Chain A
């Protein structure tokens, strides 16, 4: 976020790139990427990912459950890592978030490492996601005082909630991009706080329209949009809690 906060709520930022299914990929690629990033991400791990794929066929809908493997390259403090799987690369940054100026160079480095070892013409999907966990002091709070993106209950409904989830999908650039904005309650760190998860998932909704050499520019623009949506979702009371640094 370009507004700097001393107590920012970001618990995870992720930037992911998915290549087209027909792009070349083989088992040596994660190792080749590792060679290029191992100075900064020296630790390796493997994780199993389960996926369900639903496909429409003339015979009806088909469900396939499969397990795939991802390789993780982690920094020594494990707060930042690169994930590489078939036709997929992501870079994750856990709290403490080092500001965009601190995260962006690692996105560039990871994506460059990938494009140096794989021929990437167009991207199937690009995503930039920020997960914020917001802690507010108090046993209960009035959401109107903190959020500009919040659930609305009409006058004829009970006004107390113990649990909620709201989600909107916002289109950008003529529906080329979308941002899934979600707010839900979360488990607070302290019993005398309430906690919320504000999840901003900005992604390329139209596959293949972004060329490889435009991907980082797309990410920069995505970050600007995410920043606008974040600032548009909160109000001054939260900015005070986040302790804006001017």
Chain B
């Protein structure tokens, strides 16, 4: 296997460090393997033997790094949205109204890649029992709307708001410079599903 050097300098790498995954080989090895696969495939030609990754990587439930590779033809916006929603759906994030979530993410696509991060830390903090429901909240008074992850459970204890506050602290920094908004909260309703 070839040795690898890397120059990780971006915001995303900071996030990975922030979430405690700092060993470079953990990040690079799957990339290397994927690259090997691509270059062995004679039909795949990449500009300067390079491939681009739209929306670099995000963490899945289990905390492992989840890569989303696309070829140089990565100009679309819907595929990543569909991929992330599918991923969340399979991990028991409820999405009661997928069309309105899709519409919101099309308007604010830079939120797509942090959604799995936020769902992961929310699940870790509140546990497996509460329902997490991804919805678009519309505030009729000021014509504002934003993505909301509702934490819902059968019986509410005093510390649920503390847990939610902990979650918010972990992701709020990520919302800086992003066009849309994402809130983790509860409406104190029982689970709907």
A contact residues, total (Cβ < 8 Å)? 57
A127 to B52: give the CA distance in the assembly, Å: 15
**B53 near A12 (CB under 8 angstroms)?**
no
Which one of B7-15, B154-162, B181-189 contacts A? B7-15
A101 to B72: give the CA distance in the assembly, Å: 26
Nearest CB on B from A194, distance (A)? 12
Given contacts A65-B10, A185-B86, contact A47 B110 (CB under 8 A): yes
Across the interface, B75 reaches (CB within 8 A) one of A16, A78, A188, namely A16
User: Smallest CB-CB separation from A54: which chain B residue?
Assistant: B35
Across the interface, B7 reaches (CB within 8 A) one of A63, A83, A133, namely A63
Across the interface, B53 reaches (CB within 8 A) one of A51, A125, A133, namely A51
**B49 near A56 (CB under 8 angstroms)?**
yes
**B54 near A50 (CB under 8 angstroms)?**
yes
Which A residues from 4 to 33 make CB contacts under 8 A with B? Answer: 11-12, 14, 16, 18, 21
Instruction: List A contacts of B90 (CB < 8 A).
Output: 162-163
**A83 near B75 (CB under 8 angstroms)?**
yes
Report which residue of A53, A67, A187 has the largest number of chain B beta carbons within 10 angstroms of its beta carbon: A187
Please encode chain A, from 120 to 132, with 1 for each CB lying within 8 Å of some chain B CB and 0 for all others.
Answer: 0000110101010
Instruction: List A contacts of B99 (CB < 8 A).
Output: 189
Interface residues of B (CB under 8 A from A): 2-13, 28, 31-32, 35, 41-45, 47-56, 71-73, 75-79, 82, 85-86, 89-90, 95, 98-99, 106-107, 109-110
Interface residues of A (CB under 8 A from B): 11-12, 14, 16, 18, 21, 47-56, 59-67, 78, 83, 88, 90, 92, 94, 124-125, 127, 129, 131, 133, 162-163, 169, 171, 175, 178, 180, 184-189, 197, 199, 201, 203, 205-207
